[in-house]
């Protein structure tokens, strides 16, 4: 299921939160008190203001803490992506400060409510109220940087594409400027920006395509350079995160024409370094820009390097296909898409069939089939019922015979030489015989 970060409410700054709470308290609580009021009424007047301010602070800060995702409860892909983009330590620290702040606000309100219960004058009660609200506002302003940081995180999260880490996905990766975004634009309606310089794509971009009446995610990742993991920047680490956590078909793009600015040796070396991320996933090596150069045009040394480093170096549990493609004349575009989708469908089907979930369910089910104790045992009908049923059948049969005799007499008087009367007589005789047989078949037999 896709993680929806757009539902997070905007986070106010420290100053804005203070103004919201004080304004709400002023509007919702009584505003007039006089010295001639009873002391208990004065105490309740200021206690109500302090309690209301604390409740509003607690509600606003609780909404912030509860609506932001917890790294331990979300999919590992989103947890690592948050760590790459914002540093999970700063993220947890900001939420922790706000969480601690709401508890401290509750303690401040609790302490001053106790003192307000013993205030003996209007002046003293008013000063205690001012001190309570002042300490609450000061505490909120001390953690204003956490509010600002979380608002920046919220704005960035709301701009992320709605990625479903469990659905059918194609991940396009490779060096910068090798034709990844052009391919995504060909098979989806994502309209990714394509420029002739490197690192045009700076974040994960998502498009959707259809294959066999199903919707597929196509993820365009930023380009990856061939250097150590700790030297990769935030843009490259987004691609590494997607490759590490998503069970998808991997489309590794290689530009053998050299127009991308990187040699074949560099691209093959990058493949070898990130090969562990491809384990257990379908892998399609796409030789892009085939309109400029094809694999057969490579020098023997380059072909041997390609075969040795890619074709003979398949990741564990993976399948590998090499397809030439050109986005300029659409040659091979559909073939790449269909092959990647078919490979992933076959993998998902094999995983489903190998799982023993259905066997576990069937082992808990029992289908009860009743057994025949006495085969041929008919219903038991009392003799009195049978006798009454015979009398009724005989009476019906006698009435039918009388009707037939009357019809025969009328036919004889009117003339029975015509063929129609003869056919009617035959029909009556057949019905009479049929009724007699049905009566005999219907007569039940008592079995003792």
Please classify residue 126 by burial: count the beta carbons closer than 10 Å to its beta carbon, then call 0-12 exposed, 13-18 middle and 19+ buried.
Answer: middle
Beta strand 283-288 with 169-174: parallel, antiparallel or unpaired? unpaired
Q: State CA 391 to chain mean position distance.
A: 73
Cβ atoms within 10 Å, residue 120: 10
| Contact yes or no for 268/305 (Cβ under 8 A) | yes
Beta strand 214-220 with 205-211: parallel, antiparallel or unpaired? antiparallel
| Contact yes or no for 115/128 (Cβ under 8 A) | yes
What is the pLDDT tens value at each position of the chain, 448 positions in all?
566 777 888 999 999 999 999 999 999 988 888 888 899 999 999 999 999 999 999 999 999 999 998 988 888 999 999 999 988 999 999 999 999 999 999 999 999 999 999 999 999 999 999 999 999 999 999 999 999 999 999 998 888 888 889 899 999 999 988 888 888 988 888 888 777 767 778 888 899 999 988 999 999 998 888 888 888 888 889 999 999 999 999 999 998 888 888 888 888 888 888 888 888 899 999 998 888 888 888 888 888 888 888 887 777 777 888 899 888 888 888 999 999 999 999 888 887 777 666 667 767 777 777 776 666 666 778 888 888 888 887 777 676 666 666 666 656 665 545 555 566 666 666 666 666 665 555 555 444 3
Beta strand 320-324 with 283-288: parallel, antiparallel or unpaired? parallel
Residue 261's φ and ψ, nearest 5 degrees, are 100, 5
One CATH from 1.10.1740.10, 3.40.50.720, 3.40.50.300, 1.20.120.1190 for 14-159:
1.20.120.1190
Indicate the CATH number for domain 169-357. 3.40.50.300
On the CB side of 300, how many CA atoms lie within 13 Å of its CA?
0
Domain-wise residue ranges, the chain: 14-159, 169-357, 383-442
């Amino acid at each position: 299921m896709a993680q929806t970060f757009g539902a997070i409410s905007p986070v106010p700054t420290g100053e804005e939160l203070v103004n919201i709470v004080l304004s709400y308290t002023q509007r919702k609580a009584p505003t007039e008190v006089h010295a001639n009021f009873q002391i208990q009424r004065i105490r309740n007047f200021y206690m109500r203001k302090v309690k209301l301010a604390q409740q509003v602070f607690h509600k606003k800060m609780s909404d912030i803490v509860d609506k932001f995702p917890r790294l331990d409860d979300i999919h590992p892909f989103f947890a690592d992506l948050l760590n790459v983009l914002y540093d999970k330590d700063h993220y947890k620290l900001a939420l922790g400060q706000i969480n601690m702040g709401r508890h401290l606000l509750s303690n401040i309100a609790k302490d001053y409510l106790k003192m307000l219960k013993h205030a003996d004058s209007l002046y003293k009660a008013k000063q205690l109220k001012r001190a309570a609200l002042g300490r609450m506002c000061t505490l909120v302003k001390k953690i204003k940087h956490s509010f600002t940081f979380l608002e920046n995180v919220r704005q960035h999260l709301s701009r992320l594409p709605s990625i479903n880490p469990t659905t059918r996905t194609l991940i396009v990766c490779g060096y910068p400027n090798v034709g990844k975004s052009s391919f995504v634009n060909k098979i989806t309606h994502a309209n990714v920006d394509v420029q002739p310089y490197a690192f045009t794509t700076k974040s994960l971009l998502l498009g959707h395509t259809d294959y066999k009446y199903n919707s597929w995610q196509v993820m365009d990742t930023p380009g990856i350079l061939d250097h150590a993991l700790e030297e990769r920047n935030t843009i490259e680490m987004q691609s590494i995160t997607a490759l590490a956590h998503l069970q998808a078909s991997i489309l590794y793009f290689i530009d053998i024409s050299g127009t991308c600015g990187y040699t074949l040796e560099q691209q093959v070396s990058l493949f070898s370094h990130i090969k562990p991320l491809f384990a257990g996933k379908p892998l399609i090596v796409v030789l892009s820009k085939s309109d400029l150069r094809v694999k057969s045009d490579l020098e023997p040394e380059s072909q041997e390097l390609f075969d040795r480093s890619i074709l003979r170096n398949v990741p564990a549990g993976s399948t590998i296909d090499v397809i030439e493609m050109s986005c300029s004349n659409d040659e091979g575009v559909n073939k790449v898409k269909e092959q990647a989708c078919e490979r992933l469908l076959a993998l998902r089907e094999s995983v489903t069939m190998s799982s023993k979930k259905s066997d576990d369910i069937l082992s808990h089910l029992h289908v009860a089939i009743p057994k025949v104790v006495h085969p041929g045992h008919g219903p038991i009908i009392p003799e009195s019922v049978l006798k009454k049923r015979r009398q009724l059948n005989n009476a019906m049969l006698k009435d039918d015979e009388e009707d037939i005799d009357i019809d025969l007499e009328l036919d004889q008087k009117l003339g029975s030489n015509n063929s129609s009367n003869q056919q009617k007589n035959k029909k009556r005789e057949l019905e009479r015989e049929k009724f007699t047989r049905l009566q005999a078949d219907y007569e039940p037999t008592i079995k003792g």
